């Protein structure tokens, strides 16, 4: 029986309603699984035809948004590919052309991009127009500077070029309201910082701080106005990732870098606890995930003896010291904010781990034993905390993350302690049993919940 006939059969049985979209493509374009399920539910008299109507209408409205979104994505992709293609064609170097022709051609894509942006701004065109034209203009600016540098053999390395490119395209995100402009700005800024800062004896890319700060107000506005949009989700990951990559350029490779990153990850994790992020799905909470994974990784490294015993306390460069202190203070400030806004509902050790290690680091000159022991205890406790959160939230992912943390800690101690083999063996068996036991516990809990909810619904 085809869907249309099926649909009409339901109509006859209900008798007292009219269907708005019985023949429309929208209805037939609906998720077929959902469609079958709706039919089954209606047939079993679990939901009324009225509700079927409402659900159909809901998906109909949702479907209407889809072509527009696709148009935006294809528009941006088109502009990106055209712009990048242009740069590649320029890179070929057409040495048969006279200099004047090449110079005029260098300005052509730039002016074209500006006309497109001006048109989409003045005529208040759709998002697709704005995003595509902004993407094209940013790439055209890069192409124009590249071509002029090529025509006149202008010296200067990639970092100078990126710097100028970023500087004269940065306002576009605000003036056009373009989110893709923000994404490109972040990518270019991270590239600039990495190219300059990670090169041999490279200088500290101070300008990156300004470039990064420039993007933040736009991002905050997006978080407030469109917290659930796809692009905000992408930026939730991209912004902390950019900072995570660039922060390493502020060190000269000494042991303080561990503290600097620990402060950064602590700050990120706490940012992830602010309600605007906490309300979102975990996979969209980039700050919390990056902060947690980063902290766990670093703390595992810090649980080794060498950091507390062998790594010397050196005199660190001022820039590195300042950055570390600033990150710790920022992390603490977010914690205070969370307290003041009453956004801390239960005690979560992950939020304080960076402060504990920071305090331990300050006592490093008094000895090393307490540092090693307390860090190991902290990592093990963090593992237990993750297990607890996992069980409370019914999340296998978080539960096994906690178990993994404990396992990694034990594997690390396997190498640098003098415990005898029997003891180490028992430890491994205990953690292995812990994996089975806790997962079983969660499974049982979920089963119980399911039975309870079934009983309630029957009542």
Partner 1 sequence: MSKFIYSTLLFLLFAVQLFVPAQMVYQQEDALDTGTPYKFKTQPLDPSDPFRGKFIVLNYEIDSFETEENWDLYNGPIYVYLKTDTEGFAAVKTVRKTKINTSDDYIIVESKHNYGKTINFDLPFNRFYMNENKAYDAEISVRKAQIDTTKICYGLVFVKDGAAVLENVFIDDLPIQEFVKEYQQKME
Residues that bind partner 1 (CB under 8 A): 87, 90-95, 103, 106-107, 110-111, 114, 117-118, 121-122, 137, 141-155, 158, 161, 164, 168-169, 171-172, 175-176
Nearer residue to partner 1 within complex by CB, 202 or 434: 202
277: closest CA among 339, 328, 343, 185? 343
Cα torsion at 160, 163, 164, 166 (round to 10°)? Answer: 150
Minimum CB separation from partner 1 for residue 81, in Å? 16
Minimum CB separation from partner 1 for residue 144, in Å? 5
Pairwise CA distance, residues 395 & 42, whole Å: 33
Nearer residue to partner 1 within complex by CB, 145 or 299: 145
Pairwise CA distance, residues 103 & 112, whole Å: 15
Minimum CB separation from partner 1 for residue 116, in Å? 11
Nearer residue to partner 1 within complex by CB, 163 or 261: 163
Minimum CB separation from partner 1 for residue 141, in Å? 5
Pairwise CA distance, residues 117 & 133, whole Å: 5
Nearer residue to partner 1 within complex by CB, 159 or 303: 159
Nearer residue to partner 1 within complex by CB, 148 or 408: 148
169: closest CA among 207, 131, 141? 141
Minimum CB separation from partner 1 for residue 134, in Å? 11
Q: What is the DSSP letter of 317?
A: P
Pairwise CA distance, residues 252 & 272, whole Å: 29
| Alpha-helix residue ranges (DSSP H) falling in 248-285 | 256-271, 275-278
Nearer residue to partner 1 within complex by CB, 133 or 292: 133
Pairwise CA distance, residues 111 & 458, whole Å: 68
Minimum CB separation from partner 1 for residue 75, in Å? 19
What phi-psi label fits residue 328: left (phi over 0), alpha (psi between -120 and 50 degrees) or beta? alpha
Pairwise CA distance, residues 446 & 452, whole Å: 10
Q: Assess contact for 6 and 39: CB atoms under 8 A.
A: yes
Nearer residue to partner 1 within complex by CB, 137 or 338: 137
Pairwise CA distance, residues 403 & 374, whole Å: 19
Minimum CB separation from partner 1 for residue 115, in Å? 9
Minimum CB separation from partner 1 for residue 187, in Å? 13
Nearer residue to partner 1 within complex by CB, 158 or 450: 158
Nearer residue to partner 1 within complex by CB, 252 or 381: 252
SS3 202: coil
Minimum CB separation from partner 1 for residue 135, in Å? 15
Size of the chain, expressed as the number of residues it contains: 459
253: closest CA among 200, 322, 296, 298? 200
């Amino acid at each position: 029986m085809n869907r249309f006939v099926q649909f009409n059969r339901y109509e006859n049985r209900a008798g007292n309603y009219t269907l708005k979209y019985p023949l429309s493509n929208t209805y037939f374009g609906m998720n077929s699984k959902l469609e079958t399920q709706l039919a089954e539910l209606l047939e079993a008299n679990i939901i009324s035809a009225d509700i079927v109507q409402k659900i159909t209408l809901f998906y109909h409205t949702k479907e209407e948004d889809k072509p527009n979104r696709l148009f935006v994505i294809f528009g941006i992709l088109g502009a990106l590919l055209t712009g990048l293609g242009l740069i590649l064609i320029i890179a070929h170097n057409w040495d048969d052309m006279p200099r004047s022709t090449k110079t005029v051609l260098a300005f052509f894509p730039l002016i074209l991009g500006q006309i497109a942006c001006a048109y989409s701004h003045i005529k208040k065109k759709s998002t697709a127009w704005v995003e595509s034209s902004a993407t094209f203009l940013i790439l055209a600016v890069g192409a124009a500077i590249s071509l002029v540098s090529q025509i006149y053999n202008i010296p200067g390395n990639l970092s100078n070029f990126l710097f100028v490119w970023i500087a004269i395209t940065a306002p576009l995100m605000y003036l056009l309201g373009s989110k893709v402009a923000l994404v490109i700005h972040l990518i270019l800024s991270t590239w600039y910082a990495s190219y300059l800062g990670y090169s041999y004896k490279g200088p500290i890319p101070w300008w990156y701080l300004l470039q990064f700060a420039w993007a933040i107000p736009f991002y905050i506005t997006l978080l407030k106005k469109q917290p659930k949009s796809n692009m905000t989700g992408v930026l939730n990951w991209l912004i902390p990732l950019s900072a995570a990559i660039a922060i390493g350029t502020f060190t000269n490779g000494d042991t303080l870098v561990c503290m600097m990153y620990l402060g950064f990850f602590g700050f990120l994790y706490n940012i992830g606890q602010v309600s605007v992020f906490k309300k979102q799905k975990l996979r969209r909470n980039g700050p919390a995930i990056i902060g947690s994974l980063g902290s766990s990784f670093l703390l595992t490294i810090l649980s080794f003896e060498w950091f507390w015993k062998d790594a010397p306390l050196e005199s660190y460069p001022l820039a590195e010291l300042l950055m570390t202190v600033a990150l710790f203070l920022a992390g603490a400030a977010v914690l205070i904010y969370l307290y003041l806004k009453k956004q801390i509902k239960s005690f979560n050790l992950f939020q304080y781990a960076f402060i504990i290690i920071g305090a331990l680091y300050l006592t490093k000159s008094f000895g090393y034993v307490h540092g090693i022991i307390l860090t190991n205890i902290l990592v093990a406790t963090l593992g237990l905390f993750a297990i607890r959160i996992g069980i409370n939230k019914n999340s296998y992912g978080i539960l096994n993350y906690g178990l993994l943390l404990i396992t990694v800690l034990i594997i690390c101690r396997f190498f640098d302690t003098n415990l005898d083999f029997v003891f180490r063996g028992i430890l491994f068996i205990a953690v292995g049993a812990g994996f089975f036991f806790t997962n079983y516990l969660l499974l049982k809990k979920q089963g119980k919940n399911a039975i309870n909810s079934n009983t309630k619904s029957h009542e």
